[in-house]
Chains A and B, each alone.
Chain A
Amino acid sequence: QQQVKQSPQSLIVQKGGISIINCAYENTAFDYFPWYQQFPGKGPALLIAIRPDVSEKKEGRFTISFNKSAKQFSLHIMDSQPGDSATYFCAASNSGGSNYKLTFGKGTLLTVNP
């Protein structure tokens, strides 16, 4: 059972455009939703995270939109740059659980063309 579904699998955007990646989750106990960025040969790095008490969080060019009733959240990258080309993973965890493990989506390979 895939608890976090991520789409699209890959995305090509022109420089300056908006990149949008979507995730949906099933477990209503999830209460922490981070996005990770991964470059080839590197480990994932936390980009931005949200908790369900807010519907949106913005940090620079990166915004998370969260819809609790639909159990969906998305990452928006404004003014996308070639340096943003990477694989992006959404994740979710339950802070009331015993281990805070992250459940990941399968990732989105973003390519930003110059």
Chain B
Amino acid sequence: GAGVSQSPSNKVTEKGKDVELRCDPISGHTALYWYRQSLGQGLEFLIYFQGNSAPDKSGLPSDRFSAERTGGSVSTLTIQRTQQEDSAVYLCASSIRDTYNEQFFGPGTRLTVL
């Protein structure tokens, strides 16, 4: 079946612009995660959605970052007033919230802020 998809695959923007990154999770997966992968920093948790519960935003680095998940499926990560330090690969993962919670990752969106 289809895996997690993300769009765009690459995004180049100018400092100060807003960007929206999209994630389509695997059908039936109730949990959705956003992670950021920066050079030399590994993967950092950003935000978590589970069903209709309030999202866990504890990993968002600043109030310029926000995310929503509509209808328990597609999610959009928005970065306002982008800064050069926002340049990274943004990864989305989804899972069935069971005991093992195996997370399936999408290919990521590479964001470059000039």
Interface residue ranges, A against B (CB under 8 Å): 6, 32, 34, 36, 41-46, 49, 89, 91, 93, 95, 98-107
Please give, as numbers and ranges, the residues of chain B lying within 8 Å of A32 by CB-CB distance.
Answer: 100-101
Q: Which stretch from B11-19, B36-44, B73-81 is at the chain A interface?
A: B36-44
Q: Is the CB of A107 within 8 A of B48?
A: no
CB-CB under 8 A from B97, the residues of chain A are 100
Using Cβ atoms and an 8 Å threshold, which residues of chain B touch A102? 33, 35, 43, 45, 103
| B43: min CB distance to chain A, Å | 4
Bits for B22-65, please: 1 = Cβ < 8 Å to A, else 0. Answer: 00000000010101000011111100101000001011000000
> A20 to chain B: closest CB distance in Å?
19
Question: Is there an interface contact between A98 and B56, defined as CB atoms closer than 8 Å?
Answer: yes
Q: Does B70 contact A (CB under 8 A)?
A: no
A residues near B67, Cβ cutoff 8 Å: none
**A43:B107 contact, CB within 8 angstroms:** yes
Contact between B42 and A100 (Cβ–Cβ < 8 Å)? no
B91 within 8 A of partner (CB): yes
- Asked if B4 is at the interface of the complex by the 8 Å CB criterion, the answer is yes
Q: Taking the nearest CB of chain A, how far is it from the CB of B5, in angstroms? A: 10
Question: Which 9 pairs of residues, A with B, have the shortest CB-CB distance?
Answer: A43-B105, A106-B42, A99-B48, A104-B43, A101-B45, A100-B101, A99-B56, A104-B42, A43-B107
